[in-house]
Amino acid sequence: MAKKDKAAQQEKKNEANENEEPNFSDEEGFVDRISDQDLLGDILAERPKETDGVESIIVVDKGPRVEPEKLNKFKSVINSFFSEPGQIVSAYYPVGEDGKTKGYFFLEYASPTIAQNAVSIYNNAPLDKNYTFAVNPFTDFKKYEEIPAWEPPTPEPYKPLPNLQYWLLDPDAFDQYIVRNDMNLVQVWHNTLPQPQVICEKEGWTETYVQWSPLGTYLVTFHKLGVILWGGPEWERIMRFHHPGAQFVDFSPCEQYMVTYSPQTENVNKKLIIFDIRSGAEMRSFSLEMPAIWPIFRWSKDDKYFARITRNLLSIYETPSFGLLDKKSINVSDIKDFSWSPTDNILAYWVAESKDGPARVVLMEVPSRKELRTNNVFNVADCKIHWQKSGDYLCVKVDRYSKIKKEKNDIKYSKMYYNLEIFHMREKLIPVDSIEIKEQIHAFAWEPVGSKFAIVHGEPKNVTVSFYNVKTKQDPVCLKKFEKRTCSHLFWSPHGQFIVLAQLLADSGALEFVDTNDFASMNTTEHFNASEVEWDPTGRYIFSGVPQWKSKIDTGYWIWSFQGKILKRYNTTSFVQFAWRPRPPTLLSPEQLKDIKKNLKKYTSEFEQKDRTRMTKASKELIEARCKLMDEFKKSITKRMQRWKDKKKRRLELRNHVDTDDLEGADAGSVEEESIEFLIKVEEIPVE
């Protein structure tokens, strides 16, 4: 019964609610948490905007101010000029107090699409030589109004660069060199005495090889996305350059710019990129239309100019604009090669023979493009340009052939002969000396400091090394000939006087060290299979090496003194690359250098004392290490002898109390000693 009563009461209540009028007002304190955007977002998106109708309007600025009597004509010109994208619905030309237009006006097109096309077509379009229009959409007003107020950027804390020339402060002027093995383990060594020291070692530092910059400031490593420069005492990353697939790097002489080359990049216009080293900015990129010899660009001595050859064109560019000098290349038919003077902005190039004339060697001054000297040569097969380091002389080695005329229009070519054309760059009108060599010339090298040069000539198995001296207003003089030598390459010391005659061919490696002051052969030796020879920057040491890619046996590198005495042998099957760290030019004047050479005996005793101290210290350390090992050995023997004595009772028990120690050849209280002698070194000293 109770349930029936409750149901009846609820039914009466529902009937009463149905008879009442509905109340849609919110209760007191009600907060609606649903916004209109949530309920009617799609409808609100279609509501009219303030900018509706203005997308079809463009604003044209930087036009002329037109007087009232010329306004109608101006309007017809504008309608004709701007009507190409589509129909102009209306136009408005604001007028100033003087009755002239204000230089800008508004045009409305039939649709926003036409207006956008008009902006792209007419922005920066010239009306005539005096007026160039600036065209923008009318909606840009709203966009620029909403630009936030400018706030000055927060300055980043200053991070000083490491000392990139720290290695030059070494009081003993010890050089550094880098060694890389086939596992891309890169080591930087300090060539100290008596033993070089590893100062940095990284595995996987590079993906291909490493390279020093020309002044030794940076070390370059190669990676998939580009190259990285390293430097400083801790070998920090100085700058990263993005050039995917870069395989070659070349620096300008003053290390202001760097050229990278990526032969496999998809962007043909980005095969060559020139970067500013300090900022890391890309200055200009180039395509490569034809095969070329690296380096493709060659720089002047002061980084102001660089040049390249492209199909009978000599293109000279200037920095920092990186545009063509005088905005045009030099048309030189049949140009083959060129080279900059190491000290002056003078460019030497040679042109092959043609039907119109002989081969020519031309000296051209930059930027004036004035031809300082032209030398014609005949019957030319090839030329090689060799500058002396100080820029005083230029040698052009000319490979020539002789002609023997048999009959009319029938010419037979005989064997080759060679000319050395010596240009005296510091003399008036640049006179030229010519030296004729009947035998084949295999190598040529100027003395870096001085006026001597050396050539290797003759039959390959029995060559002659000749030394010449060049003097002002005199013909070159042959100073010395070394006959019947095994030599293919010449390596002068960076400071002159000393030279290495090397045979860098398969199954060879002969080395001869010569002092050219008196042409005395200081030593004749061999590093079998050696294919690389390089002097250190100070001229005190020289490296010879057999990299893994050259030979599978006897790989490694050796370091010699300038007199040909072997100092270190590093024989390793993983050796791949060796490179001395270059040094910048000395800051001493020629007078100071001359004074040092004159008074060298004053410093000799000081240097010898340093060497003795260093060697004594090394000997002392070696003796102390040996004594320590001997003490440890004696302690170990004493300990084991005591253990042997302690176990004597147990040995007697195991051997039925028979003492067999004497039968084993040892006394319990003594140690048998044995002396061994072996040969350490054989040295032959000639007695004068």
Round the average pLDDT of the chain to a whole number and report it: 86
Q: What is the pLDDT of residue 536?
A: 94
Say yes or no to pLDDT of 153 above 90: no
Q: What is the pLDDT of residues 65-108, one digit of tens each?
A: 989 898 889 999 988 889 888 888 889 999 988 889 999 999 99
- Element containing residue 346 per DSSP (H, E): strand 346-351
Q: What is the pLDDT of residues 379-397, one digit of tens each?
A: 898 999 999 999 999 999 9
Q: Is 120 exposed, middle or buried (0-12, 13-18, 19+ CB in 10 A)?
A: exposed
Q: What is the pLDDT of residues 550-574, one digit of tens each?
A: 888 889 999 999 999 999 999 988 9
Say yes or no to pLDDT of 670 above 70: no
Q: CA-based angle 354:357:361, to the nearest 5? A: 90
Q: Is 47 exposed, middle or buried (0-12, 13-18, 19+ CB in 10 A)?
A: exposed
Mean pLDDT over residues 322-327, rounded?
92
Mean pLDDT over residues 431-458, rounded?
92
Q: What is the pLDDT of residue 359?
A: 92
Whole-angstrom CA distances from 85 to 78, 490, 665 are: 13, 72, 116
Say yes or no to pLDDT of 407 above 60: no
Task: Give the whole-angstrom CA distance, residue 351 versus residue 9.
Answer: 120
Mean pLDDT over residues 41-59, rounded?
73
Q: What is the pLDDT of residue 653?
A: 84
Handedness of CA 353, 468, 590, 216 (dihedral sign): positive
Q: What is the pLDDT of residue 618?
A: 62
Q: Are 295 and 289 in contact (CB under 8 A)?
A: no
Mean pLDDT over residues 429-438, rounded?
92
Q: What is the pLDDT of residue 51?
A: 55
Q: What is the pLDDT of residue 668?
A: 44
Percent of the residues in the chain that have a pLDDT greater than 70, as a whole number:
88
Task: Give the whole-angstrom CA distance, residue 306 versus residue 323.
Answer: 10
Among 75-89, 317-331, 474-488, 667-681, where is mean pLDDT lowest? 667-681
**What is the DSSP secondary-structure string of 543-594?**
EEEE-TTT-SSS-EEEEEETTS-EEEEEE-TTEEEEEEPP-PPP-S-HHHHH
Q: What is the pLDDT of residues 596-633, one digit of tens each?
A: 888 887 777 777 777 777 767 666 677 778 888 889 99
Q: What is the pLDDT of residues 250-281, one digit of tens each?
A: 999 999 999 999 988 888 889 999 999 999 99
Among 124-128, 288-292, 349-353, 634-638, where is mean pLDDT lowest? 288-292
Q: What is the pLDDT of residue 12?
A: 63
Q: What is the pLDDT of residue 357?
A: 85
Mean pLDDT over residues 312-324, rounded?
93
Residues comprising the chain, all counted: 688
Task: Give the whole-angstrom CA distance, residue 72 versus residue 78.
Answer: 10
Q: What is the pLDDT of residues 447-495, one digit of tens each?
A: 998 899 999 999 888 899 999 999 887 889 999 999 999 899 999 999 9
pLDDT band at 22 (very low <50, low <70, confident <90, very high): low
pLDDT band at 657 (very low <50, low <70, confident <90, very high): confident
Task: Give the whole-angstrom CA distance, residue 585 versus residue 215.
Answer: 8
Q: Is 678 exposed, middle or buried (0-12, 13-18, 19+ CB in 10 A)?
A: exposed
Q: What is the pLDDT of residue 9?
A: 65
Q: Who wins on pLDDT, 317 or 153?
A: 317
> Residues of 388-419 as b/e, b for ≥16 C-beta within 10 angstroms?
bbbbbbbbbbbbbeeeeeeeeeeeeeeebbbb
Mean pLDDT over residues 275-300, rounded?
90
